[in-house]
Structure 1
Amino acid sequence: MSYIHGYDPETLREVVDPAECRERLAEIGPQRSLPALLERVWLLKVLGELDEALSISEQAVRVARMAGTRKDLLRARVLHATVQQFRGAYAAAEYELSTCIEEAEGQEWAGIAAFALQHRGKTRFDAGDFEGARQDFKRVLFLRQEMGAPEQQLEATMSAIEAAERRRPRSAVAS
């Protein structure tokens, strides 16, 4: 079940039903498996409970490092970076996402690279770097088209490109 009901066109943040998210948090409870930890982090993040989300995201990275695959670790690190983004630590989030992108591209894991690029674009968007965000979103669109991603994912990425283009300074639009 997807808890995402769309994306806010102004902030690019996920639109969720808080009651559904809280109900799912209660179902997960104190489970400590990596998938449960990652889901808890995401739910807490979208609910705005950022201190707890940060703590659990750090735990998820440790669990992934000890017991997961390299892909698991990258996913946990991307999620950790998104919590940093929501907390306003844009430089730290962008750095972590950039290293995740480099590793995913080096391993030719296009899906993870696109996932990390999408979040780096959102981080840049939040930080006011609309040109950087636009470039990231365009790379995401290319990767997702190459992978044959679902139409819904492609549309969300195109909407993000449009949002970044609307906010770019006029001088950047002319170039």
Structure 2
Amino acid sequence: MSYIQGYDPDTLREIVDPRQCSERLEEIGEQRSLPALLERVWLLKVLGRPEDALSISDQSVRVARMAGTRKDLLRARILHATVLQALRAYAAAEQELTACADEAEGQGWSAIAAFAYQHRGKVHYDEGDYDSARRDFKSALFLRQESGVPDDQLESTLLAIDAADRRRVVGAVAGSVAS
């Protein structure tokens, strides 16, 4: 079941039903499996509780490192980076996402690399670097098309590209007016 109802066209954040997410968080409880930990991290993040998500995210990375596959570890690290982004630790999030994208591409894991680029683009977007955001979103789009992801993932990437383009145009117009 997808809890994402769409994406805010200005912030690029997931639009979710908070009640539904809170209920799911209660259902999961204190389960310690990697999938449960990752889901708890994501739910806490989208519910606006990144501080709570951070310690569970740290735990999910440790569990993935000890008992998961390399793909599991990359997914946990990418999610951890999104929590850092939510906490406005942009440099740390960008560094982690770059490392994850590089490793995923090196292994030929296009879908995971696309996920990392998409989120690194969101970090750049939050920082106001719309050119870099657009480059990352375009990389994510190319990799997602290559790996045959569902249309909703392509749509979220296209929405992100449009948002970065709009911000770039607004920035260019504001810059020329100020001159």
Q: How many Å separate the matches in 2 of 1:107 and 1:150? A: 22
Cα displacement string for residues 25-54 of structure 1 (whole angstroms, at most 9, x for unaligned residues):
010000000000000000000001111100
Q: How many Å separate the matches in 2 of 1:89 and 1:150? A: 30
Note the 1:138-157 alignment, pairs <5 A: 138-157=138-157
Q: Name 2:85's counterpart in structure 1.
A: 85
SS at 2:139 equivalent: helix
Superposition CA RMSD, Å: 0.9
Cα displacement string for residues 66-97 of structure 1 (whole angstroms, at most 9, x for unaligned residues):
11111000000000000000010001000000
SS at 2:48 equivalent: coil
Q: Return the letter of the residue paired with 1:44.
A: L
Note the 1:95-114 alignment, pairs <5 A: 95-114=95-114
Size of the aligned set, in residue pairs, is 171
Note the 1:15-30 alignment, pairs <5 A: 15-30=15-30
Which residue of the other structure, out of 169, 172, 179, is the alignment partner of 1:170?
172
Q: How many Å separate the matches in 2 of 1:111 and 1:54? A: 24
Alpha-carbon shift at residue 144 of structure 1 (Å): 1.1
Cα displacement string for residues 122-148 of structure 1 (whole angstroms, at most 9, x for unaligned residues):
111011111000000001111111122
Note the 1:51-62 alignment, pairs <5 A: 51-62=51-62
Q: Name 2:73's counterpart in structure 1.
A: 73
| Identical residues among aligned pairs (%) | 71
Give the TM-score, by structure 2 length.
0.93
Alpha-carbon shift at residue 58 of structure 1 (Å): 0.2
Alpha-carbon shift at residue 155 of structure 1 (Å): 1.4
Judge conservation of contact 2:111–2:149 (CA < 8 Å) in 1.
Answer: no
Give the TM-score, by structure 1 length.
0.96
Larger mean Cα displacement after TM superposition, 22-31 or 143-152:
143-152
Question: 5+ residue gaps in structure 1?
Answer: none
Question: 5+ residue gaps in structure 2?
Answer: 174-179
